[in-house]
Chains A and B, each alone.
Chain A
Amino acid sequence: TAGITQAPTSQILAAGRSMTLRCTQDMRHNAMYWYRQDLGLGLRLIHYSNTAGTTGKGEVPDGYSVSRANTDDFPLTLASAVPSQTSVYFCATQDDSGGGADTQYFGPGTRLTVL
């Protein structure tokens, strides 16, 4: 099985442009997450979804939006990119059958550079 796929692998984007980072899972996990990882900082949660049809804001949601139309897909959209959004973006899933303390599984990441 593929597990979690993310696309694109990397992207260079002009400031002011919009972009959607894609995340697809085939594990049928309820919860999905978007993190950004920057040098010297821990993973920071951007948005999350506990189940299809619901989304929530994480620690750093500004400038980002998400949707969860079905269980498998959780796209992250940057409406108007700024250089501070240069980062590595990880999508993660969680089964949640264990009451919220289950392991999170990560996709391979998208490296985004905003110029």
Chain B
Amino acid sequence: GQNIDQPTEMTATEGAIVQINCTYQTSGFNGLFWYQQHAGEAPTFLSYNVLDGLEEKGRFSSFLSRSKGYSYLLLKELQMKDSASYLCAVIESNYQLIWGAGTKLIIKP
């Protein structure tokens, strides 16, 4: 069946690096999204991976391994404003999005 797994919560220190993992088992694969969602707000787009490898965008990078059903989001030089939930979503073969429950990231000074 369809399944996307992410850690429920992670804690990191301001200025440090954190890696948020996402594993998936879905009906086909047409790409993977990472979204950021601050408390009480709407999700906003961070990254999209469809090919294996690392996509870098400023302080944020996203990695994909299709053979392993695995992705991670890497956040560098953490800032307090990065405290948010990070949602992993996979596009299935029918182009429907399947969402993970999200990882709540807590940044401490």
The verdict on A53 contacting chain B, using a C-beta distance below 8 Å, is no
Given A40-B101, A42-B87, does the pair A90, B43 have CB atoms closer than 8 Å?
Answer: yes
Asked whether A42 lies within 8 Å of B48 as measured between CB atoms, the reply is: no
Chain B contacts of A104 at CB under 8 A?
A: 33, 45, 97
Q: Does A43 contact B (CB under 8 A)?
A: yes
What is the CA–CA distance of A42 and B85 in the complex, to the nearest angstrom? 11
Q: Are A42 and B4 in contact (CB under 8 A)?
A: yes
For A40, the chain B residues whose CB sits under 8 A away are 8, 101
B91 within 8 A of A: yes
Q: B30 at interface (Cβ–Cβ under 8 A)?
A: yes
Docked-complex contact A108 and B91, CB < 8 angstroms: no
Contact-residue bracket for chain A: 10 to 19
**A103 and B45 form a contact (CB under 8 A):** yes
A103 to B32, CA, bound (A): 10
Bound complex: CA A106 to CA B45 (Å): 9
B85 vs chain A, min Cβ distance (A): 10
Say whether A2 faces chain B, with CB atoms less than 8 Å apart. Answer: no
B31 and A101 form a contact (CB under 8 A): yes
Tell whether, in the assembled complex, residue B50 and residue A101 are in contact, meaning their CB atoms are under 8 Å apart: yes
**1/0 contact trace for A1-34 toward B, CB 8 Å?**
0000000000000000000000000000000000
**Which A positions have Cβ atoms within 8 angstroms of B?**
35, 40-45, 58, 90, 100-101, 103-109
